[in-house]
Structure 1
Amino acid sequence: MGGEDEVRNKQVVLRQYVTGFPKEEDMAIISTTMKLKLPEGSAGVLVKNLYLSCDPYMRHPMSAGSGTSDYLPKYYPGSPLFGYGVSKVVDSRSSDFKIGDLVWGTTGWEEYSVISSTDRLTKIEDISVPLSYYSGLLGMAGFTAYVGFHEICSPKKGDCVYVSAAAGAVGQLVGQFAKLLGCYVVGSAGSKEKIDLLKNKLGFDEAFNYKEEHDLDATLKRYFPEGIDIYFENVGGPMLDAVLLNMKLHGRISVCGMISQYNLEKPQGIHNLRQVVAKRINIQGFLQSDHFHLYPQFRHLTLRYIKEGKITYVEDIAEGLEAAPAALVGIFKGRNIGKQSVFIARDQV
Structure 2
Amino acid sequence: MTQITNSRVYIAKVPVGVAPNKSHFRTVTTTEDKPELEEGSVFVKNILFSLDPYIRHNFAEGAKETEVIGFGFSKVLESKNPNFHVGSSYYFGTLPWSSYSVLGPQELFLNFSIDSIDKDIPLSAYSGVLGTSGLTAWDSLNRVADLKKGETIYVSSAAGTLGQLVGQIAKRKGLRVIGSAGTDEKVTYLKNQLGFDAAFNYKTQNKREALTAAVGPQGLDVYYDLVLDNTVEIALDLFNSHGRIVTVGRLADHNGQELAHPKNIALVLAKQIRWEGYVVFEHFDQFENFWKEVTPLVKSGEFKYTEAVVDGGAGDIADIYFRFLEGGYQGKVSVKLGDF
> Do they superpose with TM above 0.5?
yes
Could you give the per-residue CA deviations for residues 214-261 of structure 1, whole angstroms, max 9, x where no partner exists? 2x3332221112211111101122211111111121111111112113
Q: In 2, Cα distance between the equivalents of 1:17 and 1:245?
A: 37
Q: 1:142 offset after TM fit, Å? A: 1.0
Structure 2 counterpart SS, 1:9: strand
Q: 1:119 offset after TM fit, Å? A: 4.3
Q: 1:266 offset after TM fit, Å? A: 5.8
Q: Match of 2:160?
A: 168
Q: 1:272 offset after TM fit, Å? A: 1.9
Q: Match of 1:342?
A: 335
Aligned length: 332
Task: State which of 105, 124, 128 in structure 1 corresponds to 2:93.
Answer: 105
Q: In 2, Cα distance between the equivalents of 1:135 and 1:35?
A: 30
What TM-score comes out, normalization by structure 1 length?
0.90
In structure 2, the gaps of 5 or more residues are none
Partner amino acid, structure 1, of 2:21: K
What TM-score comes out, normalization by structure 2 length?
0.92
Q: In 1, Cα distance between the equivalents of 2:24 and 2:156?
A: 28
In structure 1, the gaps of 5 or more residues are 66-75
Task: State which of 115, 123, 127 in structure 1 corresponds to 2:112.
Answer: 123
Q: In 1, Cα distance between the equivalents of 2:196 and 2:240?
A: 20
Task: State which of 42, 52, 64 in structure 2 corresponds to 1:77.
Answer: 64
Q: In 1, Cα distance between the equivalents of 2:258 and 2:212?
A: 29
Give RMSD over aligned pairs: 1.8
Q: 1:346 offset after TM fit, Å? A: 0.6
- 8 Å contact kept, 2:229–2:258: no
- 8 Å contact kept, 2:53–2:251: yes
Q: In 1, Cα distance between the equivalents of 2:112 and 2:12?
A: 32
Structure 1 range deviating more: 293-302 or 258-267: 258-267
Q: In 2, Cα distance between the equivalents of 1:184 and 1:262?
A: 29
Q: In 1, Cα distance between the equivalents of 2:234 and 2:327?
A: 21
Structure 1 counterpart SS, 2:232: helix
- 8 Å contact kept, 2:223–2:244: yes
- 8 Å contact kept, 1:37–1:91: no
Q: Match of 2:215?
A: 224
Q: Match of 2:318?
A: 325
Q: Match of 1:114?
A: 102
Change over 3 Å in CA distance of 1:42–1:31 after alignment to 2: farther
Q: Match of 2:14?
A: 17
Change over 3 Å in CA distance of 1:34–1:91 after alignment to 2: farther
Partner amino acid, structure 2, of 1:114: V
Task: State which of 58, 70, 80 in structure 2 corresponds to 1:93.
Answer: 80
Q: Kindly report which structure 2 residues correspond to 1:113-262, keeping only aligned pairs within 5 A, or say none.
A: 113-116=101-104, 117-124=106-113, 125-126=116-117, 127-214=119-206, 216-225=207-216, 226-262=218-254
Structure 2 counterpart SS, 1:110: coil
Q: In 1, Cα distance between the equivalents of 2:111 and 2:168?
A: 25
Q: Match of 2:262?
A: 270
Partner amino acid, structure 2, of 1:81: V
Q: In 2, Cα distance between the equivalents of 1:110 and 1:250?
A: 47
Q: In 2, Cα distance between the equivalents of 1:122 and 1:254?
A: 29
- 8 Å contact kept, 1:16–1:77: yes
Q: Match of 1:50?
A: 47
Structure 2 counterpart SS, 1:170: helix
- 8 Å contact kept, 1:7–1:36: yes
Change over 3 Å in CA distance of 1:297–1:34 after alignment to 2: farther
- 8 Å contact kept, 2:120–2:299: no
Partner amino acid, structure 2, of 1:218: E
Q: 1:269 offset after TM fit, Å? A: 2.4
Q: In 1, Cα distance between the equivalents of 2:36 and 2:200?
A: 52
Q: In 1, Cα distance between the equivalents of 2:297 and 2:33?
A: 41
Could you give the per-residue CA deviations for residues 135-173 of structure 1, whole angstroms, max 9, x where no partner exists? 111111111111221221121222211100001121111
Structure 2 counterpart SS, 1:336: coil
Q: In 2, Cα distance between the equivalents of 1:305 and 1:160?
A: 23
Q: 1:179 offset after TM fit, Å? A: 1.4
- 8 Å contact kept, 2:40–2:82: no
Q: In 2, Cα distance between the equivalents of 1:37 and 1:323?
A: 24
Change over 3 Å in CA distance of 1:201–1:90 after alignment to 2: same
Q: 1:204 offset after TM fit, Å? A: 1.3
Structure 1 counterpart SS, 2:203: helix
Structure 1 counterpart SS, 2:27: strand
